[in-house]
Structure 1
Amino acid sequence: MPRKPGITDEYIIRMYKSGLPYKKMVQITGLSDRAIRNVLYKHNIEMNREQSSGQPRKHKVNENFFKSWSHEMAWVLGLLITDGTISQNSIVFSQKDTKILRLIAKFMNADETIYEPTGSRTTSILVINSKTIVKDLESFGIFANKSLNVPFPEVPNEYLPSFVRGIIDGDGWVQKTGYVMNVTTGSKQFAEKLLEIFKSWQLRCEITIEKTKNNKPIYRVWVKGKNDLPKLAKIIYTNIVNDNYVDYKRLRMQVHSNQIKNT
């Protein structure tokens, strides 16, 4: 099995020492678990039995983070649903902006295990190992391989703006000129609930449907209009903590903010 471009021995050792399980290391490196062990043996790295068996090494994290609502939790949950990965033992966040990953780690009191882009992967990732957190996410209906059937969780109204900001930061696209924004999802029920929320905020919005090469539906939830994007920005950029948002998306949504009256 060939090693992916950019994967060095040092990078493999860093991943192993961070506690990343072999299954994830195989996906990232392109190597078999035996080849990974050979790299570790070559550099006299002490082997961890639990990690070798596929169990992630324990790291610091607030395992109660998803048990109660806060604006920080709502934002992180929105990011995870749209742009994260869930496995049996861990959650992984992917972002080009490492500021976002550092904030997630800070809010969750987690070790800052961030991997830079390598090979064909163009984004940085944050890995958090916790079976407890994965179990808590299941109580929201969020499981591994979630993209096509993820539900829209029951978010208290107080925290909806922060949750929607996380959704947009995770998988939203905002036009440079500030006239349109959309969120893409493979889940029909998620798209319909998001549209319902935008309508309740009295925004001009709609859903469009496209098909993938495999003939699977993709739903895009749109907000359109030079007045509507600033209105959306006014709603979601409240209760911000430590600038927890993607900078350029906020700037694009607020391009026409001086043309909208306060409501």
Structure 2
Amino acid sequence: MAKNKCTLEALEIVKLYEEGMRTVKIAEMANVSPRYVNQVLRKNNVKRREKGSWNRKYTVNEHYFKTWSNNMAYILGFFAADGNISSRTQLVTFSQKDKSILEQIRNELGSNQPLT
């Protein structure tokens, strides 16, 4: 992507990112590519947000399944029996009528997603 000279200083780019602005939007404002913005952030040792986190309504511990525990094994088994992942909408769903089980799983995963 050929662009002209950057219209923002590196510290301005860092500040905008740390205030929650997306790299694509910063790139547009600075008249550079998103790749250049990422290079500036890396060069300034800026802690990066999870991919797609800017677009999430609800929180969840994305690292929950990295450490084995009895609860993690239970949730994986529960998901294998009653769960589904929609690739189109990137949603994880459970078919379960017992609301208390779903509340326990939600709490264990550190999520604030409402149950429907």
Q: Under TM normalisation by the shorter chain, which class is it?
A: 0.3 to 0.5
Higher percent of residues as helix: 2
Higher percent of residues as strand: 1
What TM-score do the two structures reach when normalised by structure 2?
A: 0.48
What TM-score do the two structures reach when normalised by structure 1?
A: 0.22
| Higher relative contact order, structure no. (Cα contacts within 8 Å, ≥ 6 residues apart) | 2
